[in-house]
Amino acid sequence: MSEQELNFRDLAARLPASATAHVPPADLWPRIVATHLNRRRQRRWRRLAAGGGALVLVAALAITAGVWRHAATPTIDWQARAQALELQLDALPTPAASNPLAQLAESELAHLDGNLQAAYDRGAAPRDLDPLWQRRSELLDALLSVRRQQVLLSRI
Amino acid sequence: MNDKPATGFAQDIDAMILARAQRGDMAAFEEIYRRYGRACFQLALRLTGQRQTAEDLVHEAFLKMMDTIASYRGEAPFGAWFKRLTANAGIDWLRRQRHVADTGAEASFEQIAAAEADPAGLVDADSLLAHLPPRARTIVVLHELEGYTHAELAGLFGQSESYSKSILARALKRLHALAAPAASTSRVAL
């Protein structure tokens, strides 16, 4: 027989059929199902864990960004600003007649100064003092505007 | 005209079962197992020659099928697609066994030739295949029984076509030499 003619089908036909039943065992399918379901469950858990991880990451990033933004925001030294405004106010000539708006601002300033003093007396923290100094700056700003206006009018 | 119903991997699959399986329906998977499980096991057994390993291959092939069936688009009949998946699982097993190296295949031929084959053990075609080195057996099974071309085998093994042709020729020559006494005994017995 030449090599060209060799083939397995002819050869197998000359031999008896396989005596062994080539049937998979009865428990093979249940085993496959068990592995498949187990893997599916694991994949679901991994997806959940990945989703949870992503959420935690996003939250952490948001917090970090918030902290960074807060840190990056320039803080105003309200105390220094108030003192600077006070110097500007002192430099202006004292008006002959008082203005009702100026009176209002001066009255609130006096009240605020009392509060500031009380806060310092009880040893208040900077975060409690800052709003008082900020309000003082705003009042001085308003008072300065009124005085400048008065000066301008008196010159005319 | 051949009216014989299709068997093994040649069987068709109902479009409804396929659609349900693609949605992950376990009952549909069970129907696929009922239809192709035996063919898958027979191919795995011929490829490996070991019952336990064949079970592992079927296990692996079905898991792979369940994971990838959603991407099956029907370019080839389902049976052919699943047969290829089983064959690939067999070749992966061969790789894990380190039987794929060129030198390994050649050396295995020589080792097996040196061992004396017992004609009494050659009772059927499957036991005859057990006398081939793993890679040669895989090439014989896929080419001679499952209709793979040498070009396809070359792709599967990452070798040239002439390599697969050479292994096949040597394997068939060896099988005929081994089977000659067994076949004549069988004819006498019949």
Residue A57 sits in the same domain as residue A83: no
Domain count, chain A: 2
Q: Angle of helix B51-68 relative to helix A28-72, nearest 10 degrees?
A: 50
* pTM assigned to the model: 0.60
Q: Which of A44, A72, A100 is the last residue of a domain?
A: A72
| A35 and A67 inside one domain | yes
In angstroms, the separation between the Cα of residue B166 and the nearest Cα of chain A is: 11
Q: In Å, what is the CA distance from B2 to each residue of A58, B5, B146? A: 65, 9, 19
Q: Do A139 and A97 lie in a common domain?
A: yes
Contact at 8 Å (CB) between B89 and B61?
yes
**Are A68 and A82 contained in the same domain?**
no
**Residues of chain B positioned with their CB less than 8 A from the CB of A25:** 55
ipTM score of complex: 0.76
> Would the CB atoms of A32 and B62 count as touching at under 8 Å?
yes
A82 shares its domain with A149: yes
Per-residue pLDDT at A58: 87
Record: contact B176-A1, CB cut-off 8 A: yes
Residue A50 shares a structural domain with residue A83: no
Give the residue numbers spanning the domain of A139. Answer: 78-155
Query: For the segment A30-67, what is each residue's pLDDT rounded down to a tens digit?
Result: 999 999 999 989 988 888 888 888 888 888 888 888 77
- Shortest Cα distance from B76 to chain A (angstroms)? 25
pLDDT tens digits for A73-124? Answer: 667 888 888 888 888 888 887 777 777 778 888 888 888 888 888 888 888 8
- Interface probe for A, chosen from B53, B62, B127, B166 (most Cβ of A below 10 Å), is B62
* Closest approach of A6 to chain B, Cα-based (Å): 6
Of the candidates B63, B69, B65, the one whose C-alpha atom is nearest the C-alpha of residue B18 is B69
Kindly state whether residues A65 and A82 are assigned to the same domain: no
Phi, psi at residue A28, to the nearest 5°?
-70, -45
Residues A112 and A67 in one domain: no
Question: Are A34 and A99 contained in the same domain?
Answer: no
Looking at the fold, whether A93 and A126 belong to one and the same domain comes out as: yes
Indicate yes or no: CB of B128 within 8 angstroms of CB of A33: no
Inter-chain touch A15–B125, beta carbons under 8 Å: yes
Could you tell me if A93 and A62 lie in one domain? no
Of A38, A72, A106, the domain-final residue: A72
- Choose the final residue of a domain: A72, A90, A124: A72
Question: pLDDT (tens digit, 9 = 90+) per residue, B149-166?
Answer: 999 888 888 888 998 899
Q: Is residue B106 very low, low, confident or very high in pLDDT (cuts 50, 70, 90)?
A: low
